[in-house]
Amino acid sequence: MPLSWNEIRHRAIAFSNEWTGVTSERAEKQTFWNEFFNVFGIRRRVVASFEEPVKKISGDYGYIDLFWPGVVLVEHKSFGKDLGKAESQAFRYLQDLAREGRINEIPRYVIVSDFARIALHDLEPEDQRGLPLFESQRVATIEFPLADFHKCIHAFAFIPGYKQHKFEEQDPINIEAVEIMGRLHDALEAGGYSGHRLERFLVRVLFCLFGEDTGIFERESFKLYLLNRTAEDGSDLGLHLAHLFDVLNTPPEKRQKNLDESLAAFAYVDGELFAENLGFADFNRDMRNALVACARFDWSRISPAIFGSLFQAVMEPKERRQIGGHYTSERDILKVIRSLFLDDLRREFERAKSSRAELKRFHQKLARLCFIVDPRIQTTH
Protein backbone atom coordinates (compact mmCIF):
# COMPACT_ATOMS: atom_id res chain seq x y z
CA MET A 1 0.00 0.00 0.00
CA PRO A 2 1.42 3.49 -0.84
CA LEU A 3 2.73 5.64 1.97
CA SER A 4 0.37 8.22 3.43
CA TRP A 5 0.94 11.82 2.41
CA ASN A 6 1.81 12.61 6.01
CA GLU A 7 4.62 10.04 5.98
CA ILE A 8 5.81 11.27 2.58
CA ARG A 9 5.92 14.83 3.90
CA HIS A 10 8.07 13.81 6.89
CA ARG A 11 10.44 11.91 4.60
CA ALA A 12 10.67 14.90 2.25
CA ILE A 13 11.72 17.17 5.12
CA ALA A 14 14.40 14.71 6.20
CA PHE A 15 15.59 14.35 2.60
CA SER A 16 15.91 18.13 2.17
CA ASN A 17 17.84 18.46 5.42
CA GLU A 18 20.25 15.69 4.46
CA TRP A 19 21.01 17.02 0.97
CA THR A 20 21.31 20.72 1.72
CA GLY A 21 24.77 21.92 0.67
CA VAL A 22 25.70 18.96 -1.55
CA THR A 23 27.34 20.17 -4.78
CA SER A 24 29.05 17.29 -6.62
CA GLU A 25 26.92 15.94 -9.47
CA ARG A 26 29.03 12.95 -10.44
CA ALA A 27 29.74 11.67 -6.92
CA GLU A 28 26.28 12.00 -5.41
CA LYS A 29 23.51 12.19 -7.99
CA GLN A 30 22.61 8.48 -8.09
CA THR A 31 22.31 8.33 -4.32
CA PHE A 32 20.29 11.56 -4.44
CA TRP A 33 17.71 10.06 -6.79
CA ASN A 34 17.60 6.70 -5.02
CA GLU A 35 16.71 8.54 -1.83
CA PHE A 36 14.36 10.90 -3.68
CA PHE A 37 12.25 7.93 -4.83
CA ASN A 38 12.44 6.45 -1.33
CA VAL A 39 10.66 9.57 -0.04
CA PHE A 40 7.58 8.18 -1.83
CA GLY A 41 8.16 4.58 -0.71
CA ILE A 42 9.35 3.49 -4.16
CA ARG A 43 12.56 1.57 -4.85
CA ARG A 44 14.14 3.40 -7.76
CA ARG A 45 15.75 0.32 -9.29
CA VAL A 46 12.33 -1.35 -9.65
CA VAL A 47 10.95 1.35 -11.97
CA ALA A 48 13.80 3.47 -13.35
CA SER A 49 17.38 3.10 -14.60
CA PHE A 50 20.42 5.37 -14.70
CA GLU A 51 22.30 6.32 -17.87
CA GLU A 52 19.70 5.15 -20.37
CA PRO A 53 21.23 5.26 -23.89
CA VAL A 54 19.40 7.09 -26.65
CA LYS A 55 20.63 7.72 -30.19
CA LYS A 56 20.99 11.42 -31.03
CA ILE A 57 20.35 13.00 -34.43
CA SER A 58 24.13 13.11 -34.97
CA GLY A 59 24.28 9.33 -34.76
CA ASP A 60 26.14 9.37 -31.46
CA TYR A 61 24.54 8.15 -28.24
CA GLY A 62 23.51 10.34 -25.36
CA TYR A 63 22.74 9.04 -21.88
CA ILE A 64 19.67 10.08 -19.93
CA ASP A 65 20.60 10.58 -16.28
CA LEU A 66 17.52 8.73 -15.00
CA PHE A 67 14.69 7.23 -17.02
CA TRP A 68 11.35 5.67 -16.12
CA PRO A 69 9.87 4.74 -19.51
CA GLY A 70 6.50 6.32 -20.14
CA VAL A 71 6.55 8.18 -16.83
CA VAL A 72 9.50 10.50 -16.12
CA LEU A 73 12.90 11.58 -17.46
CA VAL A 74 15.42 13.20 -15.11
CA GLU A 75 18.39 15.41 -15.97
CA HIS A 76 20.73 16.34 -13.14
CA LYS A 77 23.41 19.04 -13.06
CA SER A 78 25.99 20.14 -10.55
CA PHE A 79 25.11 22.79 -8.00
CA GLY A 80 24.59 26.22 -9.52
CA LYS A 81 24.38 25.06 -13.13
CA ASP A 82 21.70 26.50 -15.42
CA LEU A 83 18.53 24.42 -15.11
CA GLY A 84 17.37 25.87 -18.42
CA LYS A 85 20.20 24.04 -20.17
CA ALA A 86 19.26 20.83 -18.36
CA GLU A 87 15.68 21.29 -19.49
CA SER A 88 16.76 21.82 -23.12
CA GLN A 89 18.86 18.69 -22.99
CA ALA A 90 15.97 16.70 -21.55
CA PHE A 91 13.63 17.85 -24.31
CA ARG A 92 16.20 16.91 -26.94
CA TYR A 93 16.20 13.41 -25.44
CA LEU A 94 12.42 13.30 -25.86
CA GLN A 95 12.83 14.13 -29.54
CA ASP A 96 15.53 11.46 -29.83
CA LEU A 97 13.19 8.88 -28.31
CA ALA A 98 10.51 9.81 -30.82
CA ARG A 99 13.03 9.66 -33.69
CA GLU A 100 14.03 6.14 -32.60
CA GLY A 101 10.41 5.03 -32.69
CA ARG A 102 10.22 4.68 -28.91
CA ILE A 103 6.94 6.61 -28.78
CA ASN A 104 5.45 4.50 -25.98
CA GLU A 105 8.46 5.30 -23.78
CA ILE A 106 8.11 9.08 -24.03
CA PRO A 107 7.28 10.22 -20.48
CA ARG A 108 4.68 12.70 -19.34
CA TYR A 109 7.03 14.31 -16.80
CA VAL A 110 10.54 15.80 -16.89
CA ILE A 111 12.48 16.64 -13.72
CA VAL A 112 15.67 18.68 -13.66
CA SER A 113 17.74 19.48 -10.59
CA ASP A 114 21.07 20.79 -9.35
CA PHE A 115 20.58 19.45 -5.78
CA ALA A 116 19.57 22.90 -4.49
CA ARG A 117 16.62 23.36 -6.88
CA ILE A 118 14.11 21.02 -8.47
CA ALA A 119 11.90 21.78 -11.48
CA LEU A 120 9.05 19.52 -12.57
CA HIS A 121 7.58 19.84 -16.07
CA ASP A 122 4.23 18.24 -16.90
CA LEU A 123 4.13 17.74 -20.68
CA GLU A 124 0.44 16.89 -20.69
CA PRO A 125 -1.43 19.28 -18.39
CA GLU A 126 -5.13 18.53 -18.25
CA ASP A 127 -6.21 21.12 -20.81
CA GLN A 128 -3.64 19.76 -23.28
CA ARG A 129 -4.39 16.06 -22.93
CA GLY A 130 -4.88 14.32 -26.26
CA LEU A 131 -2.66 16.65 -28.29
CA PRO A 132 0.51 15.17 -29.83
CA LEU A 133 3.51 15.81 -27.58
CA PHE A 134 5.24 18.33 -29.79
CA GLU A 135 2.01 20.11 -30.78
CA SER A 136 0.93 20.95 -27.24
CA GLN A 137 0.84 24.65 -26.61
CA ARG A 138 2.34 24.76 -23.16
CA VAL A 139 4.01 22.76 -20.43
CA ALA A 140 2.96 23.10 -16.80
CA THR A 141 6.06 23.77 -14.68
CA ILE A 142 6.78 24.18 -10.99
CA GLU A 143 10.23 25.07 -9.65
CA PHE A 144 11.20 25.26 -6.00
CA PRO A 145 14.23 25.20 -3.69
CA LEU A 146 15.06 21.88 -2.08
CA ALA A 147 13.95 23.21 1.30
CA ASP A 148 10.39 23.51 -0.03
CA PHE A 149 10.21 19.95 -1.30
CA HIS A 150 7.75 18.94 1.43
CA LYS A 151 5.38 21.70 0.27
CA CYS A 152 5.33 20.38 -3.30
CA ILE A 153 5.04 16.61 -2.82
CA HIS A 154 1.54 16.36 -4.30
CA ALA A 155 2.93 17.45 -7.67
CA PHE A 156 4.82 14.13 -7.67
CA ALA A 157 1.73 12.00 -7.01
CA PHE A 158 2.54 9.96 -10.13
CA ILE A 159 5.57 8.40 -8.40
CA PRO A 160 3.74 6.52 -5.59
CA GLY A 161 0.74 5.95 -7.85
CA TYR A 162 -1.68 8.49 -6.45
CA LYS A 163 -3.63 9.87 -9.37
CA GLN A 164 -5.75 12.96 -9.54
CA HIS A 165 -8.74 13.22 -11.81
CA LYS A 166 -10.01 16.40 -13.41
CA PHE A 167 -13.62 15.81 -14.38
CA GLU A 168 -14.91 16.94 -17.76
CA GLU A 169 -18.59 17.79 -18.08
CA GLN A 170 -19.24 15.32 -20.91
CA ASP A 171 -16.54 12.77 -20.15
CA PRO A 172 -16.79 9.85 -22.61
CA ILE A 173 -14.60 7.76 -20.32
CA ASN A 174 -17.63 7.30 -18.02
CA ILE A 175 -19.64 5.75 -20.84
CA GLU A 176 -16.72 3.46 -21.65
CA ALA A 177 -16.58 2.40 -17.99
CA VAL A 178 -20.30 1.57 -18.02
CA GLU A 179 -19.82 -0.55 -21.13
CA ILE A 180 -16.88 -2.47 -19.67
CA MET A 181 -18.60 -3.18 -16.35
CA GLY A 182 -21.83 -3.91 -18.21
CA ARG A 183 -20.21 -6.73 -20.16
CA LEU A 184 -19.05 -8.31 -16.90
CA HIS A 185 -22.52 -7.89 -15.39
CA ASP A 186 -24.20 -9.52 -18.40
CA ALA A 187 -21.75 -12.43 -18.46
CA LEU A 188 -22.32 -13.19 -14.77
CA GLU A 189 -26.09 -12.83 -15.05
CA ALA A 190 -26.18 -15.13 -18.07
CA GLY A 191 -24.33 -17.70 -15.97
CA GLY A 192 -27.05 -17.64 -13.31
CA TYR A 193 -25.36 -15.35 -10.78
CA SER A 194 -27.97 -12.62 -10.33
CA GLY A 195 -30.01 -10.45 -7.99
CA HIS A 196 -28.59 -9.14 -4.73
CA ARG A 197 -25.52 -11.37 -4.90
CA LEU A 198 -24.57 -10.00 -8.31
CA GLU A 199 -25.08 -6.38 -7.27
CA ARG A 200 -23.01 -6.81 -4.12
CA PHE A 201 -20.32 -8.73 -6.02
CA LEU A 202 -19.97 -5.98 -8.64
CA VAL A 203 -19.70 -3.27 -5.99
CA ARG A 204 -16.79 -5.22 -4.47
CA VAL A 205 -15.12 -5.66 -7.84
CA LEU A 206 -15.55 -1.98 -8.61
CA PHE A 207 -13.93 -1.08 -5.28
CA CYS A 208 -10.94 -3.33 -6.05
CA LEU A 209 -10.57 -1.88 -9.54
CA PHE A 210 -10.66 1.67 -8.24
CA GLY A 211 -8.45 0.78 -5.27
CA GLU A 212 -5.51 -0.49 -7.29
CA ASP A 213 -5.54 2.54 -9.60
CA THR A 214 -5.77 5.22 -6.91
CA GLY A 215 -3.35 4.08 -4.20
CA ILE A 216 -5.67 2.21 -1.85
CA PHE A 217 -3.97 -1.02 -2.90
CA GLU A 218 -0.54 -1.54 -4.44
CA ARG A 219 -0.28 -0.75 -8.13
CA GLU A 220 -1.91 -3.37 -10.38
CA SER A 221 -2.22 -5.77 -7.42
CA PHE A 222 -5.77 -6.85 -8.28
CA LYS A 223 -5.02 -7.31 -11.98
CA LEU A 224 -1.84 -9.29 -11.27
CA TYR A 225 -3.70 -11.45 -8.77
CA LEU A 226 -6.23 -12.33 -11.47
CA LEU A 227 -3.57 -13.02 -14.08
CA ASN A 228 -1.08 -14.90 -11.91
CA ARG A 229 -3.24 -16.78 -9.44
CA THR A 230 -6.25 -17.92 -11.45
CA ALA A 231 -6.67 -20.41 -14.31
CA GLU A 232 -7.21 -19.02 -17.81
CA ASP A 233 -10.40 -21.04 -18.22
CA GLY A 234 -11.93 -19.26 -15.20
CA SER A 235 -12.66 -22.51 -13.38
CA ASP A 236 -11.15 -21.38 -10.05
CA LEU A 237 -11.74 -17.63 -10.31
CA GLY A 238 -14.88 -17.48 -8.19
CA LEU A 239 -13.17 -19.37 -5.39
CA HIS A 240 -10.12 -17.08 -5.52
CA LEU A 241 -12.25 -13.95 -5.44
CA ALA A 242 -14.23 -15.23 -2.46
CA HIS A 243 -10.91 -15.83 -0.68
CA LEU A 244 -9.68 -12.33 -1.57
CA PHE A 245 -12.89 -10.73 -0.32
CA ASP A 246 -12.53 -12.61 2.97
CA VAL A 247 -8.93 -11.34 3.31
CA LEU A 248 -10.03 -7.75 2.64
CA ASN A 249 -12.53 -8.12 5.49
CA THR A 250 -9.84 -9.38 7.92
CA PRO A 251 -7.47 -7.06 9.85
CA PRO A 252 -3.75 -7.88 9.31
CA GLU A 253 -3.26 -9.08 12.89
CA LYS A 254 -6.05 -11.65 12.47
CA ARG A 255 -4.93 -13.03 9.13
CA GLN A 256 -3.35 -16.48 8.92
CA LYS A 257 0.44 -16.51 9.11
CA ASN A 258 0.81 -18.67 6.01
CA LEU A 259 -1.38 -16.47 3.84
CA ASP A 260 -0.16 -16.15 0.25
CA GLU A 261 2.02 -13.02 0.00
CA SER A 262 0.04 -11.66 -2.94
CA LEU A 263 -3.08 -11.72 -0.73
CA ALA A 264 -1.31 -10.48 2.39
CA ALA A 265 -0.28 -7.33 0.50
CA PHE A 266 -3.89 -6.17 0.20
CA ALA A 267 -4.96 -3.57 2.75
CA TYR A 268 -7.72 -4.26 5.23
CA VAL A 269 -11.01 -2.63 4.23
CA ASP A 270 -12.96 -1.61 7.30
CA GLY A 271 -16.76 -1.50 7.23
CA GLU A 272 -19.34 -3.91 5.86
CA LEU A 273 -18.48 -4.00 2.15
CA PHE A 274 -16.79 -7.40 2.30
CA ALA A 275 -18.52 -8.79 5.37
CA GLU A 276 -21.48 -10.59 3.79
CA ASN A 277 -21.01 -14.18 2.61
CA LEU A 278 -22.06 -14.20 -1.04
CA GLY A 279 -20.84 -17.66 -1.91
CA PHE A 280 -18.90 -17.51 -5.16
CA ALA A 281 -19.71 -17.10 -8.81
CA ASP A 282 -18.85 -19.88 -11.25
CA PHE A 283 -16.76 -18.34 -14.03
CA ASN A 284 -15.81 -19.61 -17.46
CA ARG A 285 -13.11 -18.34 -19.83
CA ASP A 286 -15.26 -15.56 -21.36
CA MET A 287 -16.38 -14.34 -17.94
CA ARG A 288 -12.78 -14.25 -16.70
CA ASN A 289 -11.77 -12.33 -19.83
CA ALA A 290 -14.51 -9.79 -19.09
CA LEU A 291 -13.15 -9.27 -15.58
CA VAL A 292 -9.55 -8.98 -16.81
CA ALA A 293 -10.74 -6.37 -19.33
CA CYS A 294 -12.18 -4.41 -16.41
CA ALA A 295 -8.83 -4.64 -14.61
CA ARG A 296 -6.96 -3.29 -17.65
CA PHE A 297 -9.09 -0.13 -17.64
CA ASP A 298 -7.69 2.93 -15.81
CA TRP A 299 -10.30 3.51 -13.09
CA SER A 300 -8.46 6.52 -11.69
CA ARG A 301 -9.91 8.42 -14.65
CA ILE A 302 -13.39 7.98 -13.17
CA SER A 303 -14.53 10.47 -10.55
CA PRO A 304 -15.70 8.72 -7.34
CA ALA A 305 -18.53 11.26 -7.21
CA ILE A 306 -20.36 9.50 -10.05
CA PHE A 307 -19.69 5.90 -8.98
CA GLY A 308 -23.20 5.36 -7.66
CA SER A 309 -24.81 6.63 -10.83
CA LEU A 310 -22.33 4.73 -12.96
CA PHE A 311 -23.13 1.52 -11.09
CA GLN A 312 -26.85 2.13 -11.53
CA ALA A 313 -26.27 2.40 -15.28
CA VAL A 314 -24.34 -0.89 -15.24
CA MET A 315 -27.31 -2.63 -13.61
CA GLU A 316 -29.78 -1.36 -16.22
CA PRO A 317 -31.06 -3.85 -18.81
CA LYS A 318 -28.62 -4.44 -21.64
CA GLU A 319 -30.82 -2.78 -24.28
CA ARG A 320 -31.15 0.46 -22.30
CA ARG A 321 -27.46 0.54 -21.46
CA GLN A 322 -26.51 0.25 -25.12
CA ILE A 323 -28.28 3.51 -26.01
CA GLY A 324 -26.61 5.35 -23.15
CA GLY A 325 -27.59 4.95 -19.50
CA HIS A 326 -28.29 8.14 -17.56
CA TYR A 327 -26.15 9.12 -14.62
CA THR A 328 -25.78 12.39 -12.75
CA SER A 329 -22.56 14.20 -13.62
CA GLU A 330 -20.17 15.38 -10.94
CA ARG A 331 -20.80 18.96 -12.05
CA ASP A 332 -24.55 18.57 -11.46
CA ILE A 333 -24.00 16.83 -8.14
CA LEU A 334 -21.84 19.74 -6.97
CA LYS A 335 -24.48 22.25 -8.04
CA VAL A 336 -26.77 20.69 -5.44
CA ILE A 337 -24.48 19.82 -2.57
CA ARG A 338 -22.28 22.92 -2.59
CA SER A 339 -25.12 25.28 -1.74
CA LEU A 340 -26.73 22.81 0.68
CA PHE A 341 -23.75 21.97 2.87
CA LEU A 342 -20.37 21.60 1.13
CA ASP A 343 -19.45 25.31 0.98
CA ASP A 344 -20.34 25.72 4.65
CA LEU A 345 -18.18 22.74 5.59
CA ARG A 346 -15.24 24.10 3.61
CA ARG A 347 -15.50 27.48 5.33
CA GLU A 348 -15.66 25.73 8.70
CA PHE A 349 -12.56 23.73 7.83
CA GLU A 350 -10.66 26.91 6.89
CA ARG A 351 -11.50 28.36 10.30
CA ALA A 352 -10.51 25.17 12.14
CA LYS A 353 -7.36 24.07 10.31
CA SER A 354 -4.95 26.16 12.41
CA SER A 355 -6.06 24.53 15.68
CA ARG A 356 -5.57 20.87 16.50
CA ALA A 357 -8.47 20.94 18.96
CA GLU A 358 -10.79 22.57 16.43
CA LEU A 359 -9.73 20.14 13.73
CA LYS A 360 -10.51 17.21 16.05
CA ARG A 361 -13.94 18.68 16.78
CA PHE A 362 -14.56 19.24 13.06
CA HIS A 363 -13.49 15.67 12.28
CA GLN A 364 -15.95 14.34 14.86
CA LYS A 365 -18.70 16.43 13.32
CA LEU A 366 -17.97 15.02 9.85
CA ALA A 367 -18.16 11.49 11.24
CA ARG A 368 -21.67 12.16 12.54
CA LEU A 369 -23.08 13.64 9.34
CA CYS A 370 -25.71 11.58 7.53
CA PHE A 371 -27.19 12.33 4.12
CA ILE A 372 -30.21 10.82 2.42
CA VAL A 373 -30.40 11.21 -1.34
CA ASP A 374 -33.67 10.87 -3.22
CA PRO A 375 -32.80 10.16 -6.87
CA ARG A 376 -36.36 11.03 -7.97
CA ILE A 377 -36.04 14.69 -7.09
CA GLN A 378 -32.26 15.08 -7.35
CA THR A 379 -31.80 16.78 -4.01
CA THR A 380 -30.30 16.10 -0.61
CA HIS A 381 -32.00 16.32 2.78
Q: Is 223 helix (H, G, I), strand (E, B) or coil?
A: helix
| Best-predicted range by mean pLDDT (25-34, 87-96, 244-253) | 244-253
Q: Is 66 helix (H, G, I), strand (E, B) or coil?
A: strand
When pLDDT is averaged across residues 155-167 and rounded to a whole number, the result is 72
Q: Percent of the chain having pLDDT more than 70?
A: 78
The residues near 107 (Cβ < 8 Å, ≥ 6 apart) are 67, 68, 69, 70, 71, 72, 73, 94, 123
| Best-predicted range by mean pLDDT (126-130, 218-222, 223-227) | 223-227
Question: What class has domain 5-156?
Answer: alpha beta
Mean pLDDT of the residues in the chain: 81
Q: What is the pLDDT of residue 176?
A: 75
Residues 233-290 pLDDT 10s:
999 999 999 999 999 999 999 999 899 888 998 999 988 889 988 877 889 998 899 8
Domain ranges of the chain: 5-156, 172-327, 331-380
Higher pLDDT, 307 or 205: 205
Closest CA to 269 of 210, 207, 196: 207
Contact between residue 246 and residue 274 where contact means Cβ atoms under 8 Å apart: yes
Higher pLDDT, 360 or 161: 360
Residues 6-22 pLDDT 10s:
899 999 999 999 998 77
Predicted confidence band at 167 (pLDDT cuts at 50, 70, 90)? very low
DSSP conformation class of 256? -
DSSP conformation class of 168? P
When pLDDT is averaged across residues 26-41 and rounded to a whole number, the result is 88
Predicted confidence band at 126 (pLDDT cuts at 50, 70, 90)? low
Other CB atoms within 10 A of residue 132 CB:
8
For 54-59, the CB contacts below 8 A with 24+ separation are 54/93, 54/96, 54/97, 54/100, 54/102, 55/96, 55/99, 55/100, 56/92, 56/96, 57/95, 57/96, 57/99
Q: How far apart are alpha carbons 30 and 42 in whole angstroms?
A: 15
Angle between helices 195-214 and 172-190 (to 10 degrees): 140
pLDDT of residue 63 exceeding 70, the answer is yes
pLDDT of residue 379 exceeding 70, the answer is no
pLDDT of residue 376 exceeding 60, the answer is no
> Helices then strands (H, E): number in the chain?
15, 8
pLDDT of residue 128 exceeding 50, the answer is no
The residues near 204 (Cβ < 8 Å, ≥ 6 apart) are 245, 273, 274
